[in-house]
Amino acid sequence: MKLFGTLFLSMFVLASCQKQDFFYSDGRGERFSNLSDQVLFINIWADWCPPCIKEFPYFNQINEKQDVSVIGYHFDQFDSLSDSEVNKLIDKFGVTFPNLSDDPRDIWGIDLPENVPTTYIIKNNKVIETITTPLTLEDLENKLASYSTFD
């Protein structure tokens, strides 16, 4: 009986230590399988970009809906920020959605944009649209509605 308990405990520990597919700036990890049924908005932003800052409340709001996740990534062609610096900016701008620590090029094989803001829409771990203009809440809601049933 003791062998069974030890075996069960070992299996539980191994199952809970699954490899994460990517990490957020707050240190949390994420698996693709946790997001597979959702529409993902990957928001590429910079702290010096007024349209990016204007979009934050809209992304915060859409992130509260079911079947959608917003993930941000601070991008500056000339200045790579540490996670703690990104987290300070997230706090400063009132961003409530998680931001990537890992480079999205390594996660989804996307090219980083030449300009910000840029938003990638991902469903079932595939990029289905790239938007290189600022978005409003109405734009995000319309995109969510059109891609919620997309497979």
Q: Residues near 113 by Cβ (< 8 Å), separated by ≥ 6? A: 44, 75, 130, 132
pLDDT in tens, 85-127: 999 999 999 999 999 998 898 899 888 788 999 999 999 889 9
Residue 9: pLDDT over 50: no
Of the pLDDT bands very low, low, confident and very high (cuts 50, 70, 90), residue 151 is: low
pLDDT at residue 3 tops 90: no
pLDDT digits (tens, 9 = 90+) for 37-81: 899 999 999 999 999 999 999 999 999 999 999 999 999 877 789
Is 85 or 149 the better-scoring residue by pLDDT?
85
State the SS3 of 126-151.
EEEEEECCCCCHHHHHHHHHHHCCCC
What does the pLDDT read at residue 105? 87
Q: Between the CA of residue 129 and those of 32, 70, 95, 137, what are the distances in Å? A: 18, 14, 23, 17
Looking at residue 14, its pLDDT comes to: 43
Q: What is the pLDDT of residue 17?
A: 59
pLDDT at 24 exceeding the cut of 80: yes
Domains and CATH numbers, the chain: 21-147 (3.40.30.10)
pTM equals 0.84
> Which amino acid is it at 45?
W
86, amino acid identity: V
Given a cut of 50, is residue 6 above it in pLDDT? Answer: no
Q: What is the pLDDT confidence band of residue 15, given thresholds at 50, 70 and 90?
A: very low
Amino acid at 20: Q
How far, in Å, CA of 47 to CA of 150, rounded?
Answer: 32
